Structure 1
Amino acid sequence: MGRKSNRNQNNQRGKSPSASQLARKIKTFLDNHYGEEYSAKQIIKKLEIRDSLSKNAVEPILIKLVENGTLSKSPRNYYASKKDPDFIIGKVDYVNPRFAYIVPEDPEKTDGDILVKEVDLKQALDDDRVRVMVYPNKGRSGRSEGRVLEILERARDEFVGRVEISPRFAFVVPDFKKMHKDIFVHRGDLEGAQHNEKVVVKLTEWREGDKNPTGKVTRVLGKAGVHEVEIHSIMAEFGLPFEYPKEADAEANAISEEISKKEIQKREDFREVTTFTIDPADAKDFDDAISYRRLENGNLEVGVHIADVTHYVQPKTALEREAYERATSVYLVDRTIPMLPERLSNGLCSLRPNEDKLTFACVFELDENAKVLKHWIGRTIIHSDRRFAYEEAQENIDKQGGDFFEELTHLNELAKKIRKHRFQNGAVNFETVEVKFKLDEKGTPLGLMVKERKDIHKLIEEFMLLANKYVAEFIFKKNSGKDTFVYRTHDSPDMDRLEVFSGFAKRFGHNLDLDNERQVSSSLNKLMDEIQGKPEQNVLEQLAIRSMAKAKYTTEPKGHFGLAFAHYTHFTSPIRRYPDMMVHRLLQHYLNGGKSPDAEDWEKKCLHSSDREKRAADAERASIKYKQVEYMSLAEDKDYEGIVSGVTEWGVFVEITETKCEGMVRVSDISDDYYEFDERNMRLIGTKSKKMITLGDKVSVRVVNTDIDRRTIDLEFADNDEKTHRTRTPR
């Protein structure tokens, strides 16, 4: 099953091209090989010109192209293009073994991403920073093409994979889907690794002309398929740390638990005010607490108290350096890799009940309509009265009983009003589907559930958003945005991408009104409400998010489209996010009357934090995908209902409705017709039957293979010809 029919080409065989066609062919070839010279004989060979008529025409055409200034001719009768190409710098997106795309650093310099064939990559790998020559003429696909001239920066030189050992040599087959080259390892560089074990391998050499790079095993992880080994493989693949540095750990252990009277005197004392935390049942790092107090004037005071991490983590310490390097805690399917050592994250900084704790707070005075009448920002000391799991707090609201049920109920009513007002102002309601696994003691998935977001989750979310917003606005208004600060920004969506998304939504029977750009948010919210609980919910939510800009950290005081806030920051999670620590530091600096520091250093920290945030999200997704693959390898062998969640030229992605697991049906495995890829409309079309397989189609599939190494699930359509049905083969 190919992607494009060869019939037209076959019909053309034996026909000589016209002089103008041949001239175009020669010109395109030389343009695309800028800086290189070729003789007439070499051009004939390179262009595979076989008929004598065309061969004889090449020399006269070359002379004519020289005369009109298109080509240059050397004294040795070698020809070269005189058309200057463009040169760009970008990052490699190595989508498949045959070619990669180069994503330009400056998008305005090119018409989209640059396609580079594997032979022209000059040994560049995924995410490498490269310099590329862009060919003057576009390729057959209508896309700009080019070739890599230089690798400016390797993104990674270590890979995780499975060792395959033969009598004379060994290869490591990388887990990373975008690493399409096996890595050769001399038997003396295996570090004791056995056949089929998982290892970390470091690239040591890649000589010009060699098909594969050479590497050396630096760490043996263990037997492939074992839970602990696979999780360690994911950690190594994404460069996540396995342990905390001794120096930073020692600094954390040396910090005193004592809170001095002098320190208390610097703070507002909330220890007598009703205060509680609400977190996941298995959480230990309690970042935030809510205080609740009725004022004499009848209004309500709500305090959002955040762990005062920067009181304990001082600049120019090992703790600070490691927190910056990690920049975020990473939540894998079975463990947390913390930004801070446990002594701080689960101990000193965690707002545990019945203990005095140091906090940074944003305190609001609200009326019954949830309107903020006053607010105060500063350092506090609290004494939490109760640690709630989300489920406990929700139960107290539902049954109207239990600890602090009246306070929780009132806060919930206020949160709903704040939320309603936020959406009226244009916020977008993205409720993404989250999957959670029940694991046994060996890490084997016993069950899979979709996390449910209830009122109590939204209560905490609204008050955290409120605090983040007011902190950002406080700094911005202080000096009209001229003071250096760390903002969390989110650009408005690209309308062209939203148009594409709107077309996909229509296939499910949902309309998105894009005629009025000001009404985009409300139209998106209407759509999100319509799809709640429907089979297409997860697919459309993911597609909607992909059509949006990515939120990022920056010192530029731009707005946040998704939340409809003019200014926004991250203030509420300093135990697990370094940008929040940056915000706390700058905030206290300004509260102390300090002048604005140079923005450049803070912008570099913002970029680093955004990069680390992406790494953490990718690692978290990989760990979930690993468990999904394992779960489906153990699941019942039956037909599953699913929705087409993606279409490419080589396969159809299907999300299984029952388990939320995504797998792929390869085009080569669809036997009822020969399918061609319609990229514009993201669909496959049968050449004979004209049958279409389109994003959003409801289908029935079977699992035929699961590959834990690559974290992939191979599917086939359940109505595929019976003769092609294969027995499931887990690996």
Structure 2
Amino acid sequence: MKKEKKIKKKHYNNLSTGLINITHHGYAFVHIDEFQNDIFIPKNKTNRALKGDLVKIRFYCNRKGIKMKGEVLEIIKRKTKKFIGVLKLNVRYNDKYGIVSNNNIHVDILVPIQKLKKYHNNDKVLVQIVSWPKKFQNPLGKIVKVFGVSGEYKTEIFSLLEEYGISYEFSKKMENEAKQIFSKSILDINFRKDMRNVNTFTIDPLDAKDFDDALSIRKLNDDTWEIGVHISDVSYYIKEGSLLDQEAYLRATSIYFVGKVIPMLPKILSNDLCSLQPKKDKLSFSYIFHMNSQGKILKNWFGKTIIRSNRKFTYDEVQYIIEQKKGDYYEDIYTLFLFSKILIQNRLKNGSIYLDKMEVKFDLDQKNNPISLHLEKNNDAHRLIEEFMLLTNRKISEFVSLNFNEKPSNKLYIYRVHEKPDFQKIFFLKKIIEPLGYFLDLKNLKTSINHLLKEIKGKPEQNMIENLILRTMSKAKYSTKNIGHYGLSFIYYTHFTSPIRRYSDIIAHRLLYHYLTNNKEYKLNTTDFYEKQSLHCSSKERLAIDVERTFLKYIQVKYIKKFIGEEFYGVITGFTDWSVYIDLLLFQTEGMIRLRDIKEDSYVLNSNSYSIIGKKKRKVYRLGDKIKVKLIDVNIEKKQIGLHWMNNV
């Protein structure tokens, strides 16, 4: 004992700072760069710190230097003092305080009862921590904003936007600037190629209002067609440095919720002036090329145009025309469809990964409650548009990046880049799919992944394996440093085709226009400037994906609530020491079962984490196994689905 005390004393003077991660149970971990393992902080030593705070700690390690333990001495900087939670007036603390419960921190926030007269039980609120007296186990706070009743559509959208720090309103100044642009919009056609007499149309989802892109086609002779990909000329209207430009840059992307869009630009621009609506003259930035019947591009042209879309199509309408071989503009649409098939074949031959995931779509009633669900997969109409947009993005980046002799031009541009996948993640994928009877050839990875994607089509484990493949892949991002796009197998690639909803595309438009015209009005900035913009666009894109997924999970959980008590088939997608995660096949969403609640045996996690094994009967369940479950509980606030394990032996 004496020896141990000496060791503790000797090593307890180690001081450091780091970000604290506190579990829901109250104990915590602090990561310090020089150590492989995090410092463990016991529940009674967190000293009123909250998850994400920058803290000063004192720590010691045992003789082997492996297990390190510490205590929080000081909170250097709070990550935030504001939290979104649900007000509970039916659960009181000492009859003096109402409780605001938050999923992200380990303690409830107390608000004095006398300050809660105008609020209601189950309100979703923004609460600010005012103080945390030493004698209190919980911080004290005040309510700053009310979003509405927890679980309601509007409440969940606006609380999410607040939580992620996303702007959803435009100031009066910005709206006025948008109105001025709209009222002064005289079509500048002097230097534009006039394409108004060519058959042109848009193809979009049924509920789309912002039409970024249109296609035109005309036959030049027996073996040559002129095809135009026309993209809304947003950069003509949004001048760099203007108030709207600054706001568009801050947002960097439109956000698409189920039933609602938070646009990057005011609606008068995104849904009207810039949108390529039918029967109206519209300004566009176009890629026009000649293509022969073998799908070979004979000639390229890039520049500003004026177009007049003949008609707006939905994907379903175009799919019907392709399948039935009749309808409006049938010959034009079918020719584009045949060319898109050639483009796909060429892309796959070149090593492109062909991941064609199902999307969960919901129909909402008038109160925005989900009433039905369907799984939507890309059809020929989707692929037609996708291939021509991919081609345009590739050809534009090649045009900027290469001289006529195919040697690098070293011109500054914004690229969409995608790194090679992490080998450890690929190896993890290989280990998981092998017990299910699938194989991955690490030497010919892309070909092998495409073969795997074909093999799993229609199988119960399809969604799980597709998600695993996605997780092995690096995240695509924007950069001025071109490293190519691994997933698409393109050496040069950019984003040019959606400037109404992506700021990265506006940057790409401005740079291309500068190179096409040697435009003296638009001076190139430094590489560092564009790299900073690229990083910002990448960061905002990831944020938008996170917030969209979180809201989709809320809709899924709300929808599934009506099926409590019913039985469904699911696929095992993950394990922890205490739980099993199940992908419900009918809903394409994940639920959870605690290991201790499985009655058929006592199951424990295998050391490799890919399976569980029963102690008595030695039955093994692996990732990808199909099982039967009953839906027993739904928590909309936590977005969790509780399941009961039916006897699967």
**Change over 3 Å in CA distance of 1:418–1:103 after alignment to 2:** farther
Q: Is 2:84 the counterpart of 1:160?
A: yes
The one-letter amino acid paired with 1:591 is: L
2:205 aligns with one of 255, 277, 280: 280
Once the two structures are superposed, the pairs formed by residues 234-633 of structure 1 within 5 Å of their partners are 234-256=160-182, 260=186, 263-296=188-221, 298-477=223-402, 480=408, 482-514=410-442, 516=443, 519-593=444-518, 596-633=524-561
Q: Is 1:114–1:146's contact at 8 Å kept on the other side of the alignment?
A: no
Instruction: In structure 2, give the amino acid aligned to 1:267.
Output: R
Q: CA deviation at 1:148?
A: 7.4
Amino acid of the residue matched to residue 267 of structure 2? Answer: E
Distance in 2, matches of 1:320 and 1:150, equals 42
Q: For 2:402, what is the secondary structure of its paired residue?
A: helix
Amino acid at match of 2:348: F
| CA distance in structure 2 between the aligned counterparts of 1:606 and 1:612, rounded to whole angstroms | 10
For 1:727, the equivalent position in structure 2 comes to none
Shift in Å at residue 315 of structure 1?
2.0
Following the alignment from structure 2 to structure 1, what is the Cα–Cα distance between the partners of residues 63 and 292?
Answer: 63
Q: 1:145 to 1:507 in 2, by over 3 A?
A: farther
Query: Does the 8 Å contact 1:481/1:557 carry over to 2?
Result: no
* Deviation of the 1:689 alpha carbon: 4.1
CA deviation profile, 1:42-97 (whole Å, cap 9, x unmatched) = xxxxxxxxxxxxx35557xx4xx8xxxxx9xxxxxx53479x89x786x7766754
Map 1:698-709 → 2, pairs under 5 A: 698-709=626-637
2:259 aligned partner, one-letter code: D
Matched residue type, 2:328: D
- CA–CA distance in 2 between the matches of 1:527 and 1:253? 52
Q: 1:704 deviation in Å?
A: 1.4
Distance change (3 Å), C-alpha of 1:189 and 1:490: farther
Compared CA separation, residues 341 and 58, structure 1 to 2 (3 A): closer
Please give the secondary structure, in 2, of the residue aligned with 1:393.
helix
Shift of 1:580: 0.9
Q: Is the 8 A contact 1:292 1:300 kept in 2?
A: yes
Tell me the CA shift for residue 688 of structure 1.
Answer: 4.2
Deviations, residues 625-684 of structure 1 (Å, cap 9, x unaligned): 112112221026222110011111231110111222211102342344444334533333
* Residues in 1 aligned to 2:41 and 2:105: alpha-carbon distance in whole angstroms: 15
How far the C-alpha of 1:545 sits from its partner, in A, is 0.4
Q: Distance in 2 between matches of 1:380 and 1:150?
A: 62
Q: 1:100 to 1:420 in 2, by over 3 A?
A: farther
Q: Give distance in 2, aligned partners of 1:474 and 1:133.
A: 58
Q: TM-score, normalised by structure 2?
A: 0.90
Determine if contact 1:629/1:708 at 8 Å carries over to the other structure: yes
Contact 2:201 2:214 in 1 (8 A): yes
CA–CA distance in structure 2, aligned partners of residues 212 and 558 of structure 1: 50
User: What is the CA–CA distance in structure 2 between the aligned matches of 1:565 and 1:103, rounded to whole Å?
Assistant: 38
Whichever residue aligns with residue 341 of structure 1, its letter is: P
| Distance in 1, Cα, partners of 2:458 & 2:63 | 45
Q: CA deviation at 1:467?
A: 0.8
Assess if the C-alpha contact under 8 Å between 1:114 and 1:134 holds in 2. Answer: no
How far apart, CA to CA, are the structure 2 residues paired with 1:405 and 1:467? 23
Distance 1:191 1:249 in 2: 37
1:504–1:133 distance in 2 versus 1, CA, 3 Å: farther
CA distance 1:419–1:382, shift in 2 (3 Å): same
Shift of 1:477: 2.1
Q: Which residue matches 2:158?
A: 232
Code of the residue aligned with 1:683 in structure 2: it is S
Match of 1:79? 10
Distance of 1:79 and 1:144 partners within structure 2: 14
Alignment of 1:19-34 (within 5 A): none
Give the superposition deviation at 1:533.
1.9
Change over 3 Å in CA distance of 1:470–1:145 after alignment to 2: farther
Distance 1:57 1:701, change over 3 A: same
Q: Against the structure 1 CA distance between its residues 473 and 196, is the aligned structure 2 distance closer, same or farther, given a 3 Å change threshold?
A: same
Q: Does the C-alpha gap of structure 1 residues 480 and 299 become closer, same or farther in structure 2, counting only changes over 3 Å?
A: same
CA separation in 2, counterparts of 1:173 and 1:246? Answer: 35
Distance 1:377 1:152, change over 3 A: farther
Q: Separation in 2 of the partners of 1:642 and 1:244?
A: 44
Contact in 2 for aligned 1:489/1:558 (Cα 8 Å):
yes
- SS state at 1:255 partner: helix
**Which letter does structure 2 place at the counterpart of 1:193?**
Y
Deviation of residue 173 (structure 1)? 1.1
Of 620-629 and 481-490, deviating more is 481-490
Alignment of 1:9-28 (within 5 A): none
Query: What letter is aligned with 2:169?
Result: E
Displacement of 1:601: 2.2
- Note the alpha carbon deviations across 1:257-312, whole angstroms, 9 max, x for none: 56546x21121211111111000011010000011122358422211111111111
- What is the identity, as a one-letter code, of the residue corresponding to 1:682? Y
Aligned to 1:660: 588
Q: Is the 8 A contact 1:484 1:597 kept in 2?
A: no
Paired residue secondary structure (2:106): coil
Q: Amino acid of the residue matched to residue 541 of structure 1?
A: E
Query: Which is further off, 478-487 or 568-577?
Result: 478-487
Do the aligned partners of residues 685 and 203 (structure 1) sit closer, same or farther apart at CA in structure 2, a change above 3 Å counting? farther
Q: What is the count of residue pairs matched by the alignment?
A: 638
Q: Map 1:54-65 onto structure 2 (within 5 A).
A: 55=1, 58=4, 62=6
Give the unaligned 5+ runs of structure 1: 1-54, 66-70, 72-77, 722-731
Equivalent AA in structure 2 for residue 487 of structure 1 = Y
Work out which of the two has the higher radius of gyration on C-alpha atoms and give 1 or 2.
Answer: 1
Q: Please name the residue that 2:146 is paired with.
A: 220
| 1:186 Cα deviation after fit | 3.0
Give the % identical residues: 38
Please tell me the residue identity of whatever aligns with 1:164. K
Q: 1:56 to 1:129 in 2, by over 3 A?
A: closer
Alpha-carbon offset, residue 544 of structure 1: 0.8
Give the Å deviation of 1:568: 1.2
Matching residue's letter, 2:535: L
